[in-house]
Every structure is written in structure tokens, then in C-alpha cells.
Amino acid sequence: MKKTSSESNREGRIVNLSSDGHRFAYREGIRFDKVNDESVYNSIQAYGQSKLANILPANELARRLKEEGVQITANSAHPGAIATNLLRYHGFLNAITSSLGKYFLKNIPQGASTTCYVAFHPQVMGVSGKYFLDSNIVKPSSPAQDADLPKKLWDFSENLTELK
């Protein structure tokens, strides 16, 4: 991507999909010391932690790319609640969202709009390390704004995936 951006003299863009569910993460954001501890598992907070873990790498990548002086941005986006077949194996919930969802959920093109906006719109040129919702920059949760947490997660992930 760096080579293509340099050779074409065009900005490259990275968009990590997340969710406003990141706001429900554990108080400390990422529980590095308890990442696999079932005794303190909470499904809603674990989901929030996983969505926060989509935002933080974009923030760290934005910082690193800026430091390198390359013409590539990295942002994260929440597509919104979308009417999909995600709940197809949950009969009752699927029936409710299928019948009522059209009134309060986004359709698939509407759900894709923020991602496309961040990836392609000229107004987003040069914008990096931000969180988008409904094609607008919004303030994410405090852990998502933490200056040290993105690097800590980056290093933690590298250590987990390192070949030993």
C-alpha cells in the first residue's frame, strides 16, 4: 500500500469497521491480563472490548503512518444497526427484526454509506485516527481516545502472534 500510494501519488485509506458497542467495553478498556479468563467474562463487555479492539489498531496505525510521513490514513467507523440476516438462527429475534427492523434499522446500502464515505470521499482526505458514525467524525469512548492503549494493544497482539 505504501508503494502504491507513493508511486501513484494518491492517498491510501484504511478503514476498520467497529461499532458504537465499543462504549460497553470493560472500564479499563482491554483486559490484557484477563483476556481469556472465563470467571470474569461478561458477554456485553466482551463484545464492547472486541469493538474497541477494532478502533485502537486504526489509531496506532494512523500514528505510525503519520510518523513515517506516508500518504495513507487509518480510521474506524460504525456502520450502524443494519437489517441483515445476522440473527437468522435465532427464530424469535429474527422474526422481530425482520418484521420491525425496516422501521428502525438501516438497509444494507445505508449501512455501507459511512464506510464508503471514509474510504472515498474527498472531504476525508488527510483525516486520520478518527472514529466515524453516520459519515461524521464523532468522539469515541475514553478508552478509544487513550494515548497509550493503542500501542499497548498493538504490542500485545504482536506478542500473541509471534512465532516462538
Active site residues: 41
CA gap 83, 99 in Å, rounded: 10
CA gap 164, 160 in Å, rounded: 10
> CB neighbours of 12 closer than 8 A, spacing ≥ 6?
1, 2, 4, 5, 70, 71, 72, 73
Task: Tell me the three cell numbers of residue 137.
Answer: 467524525
Task: Tell me the three cell numbers of residue 79.
Answer: 456502520
Alpha carbon 37 to chain centroid distance? 24
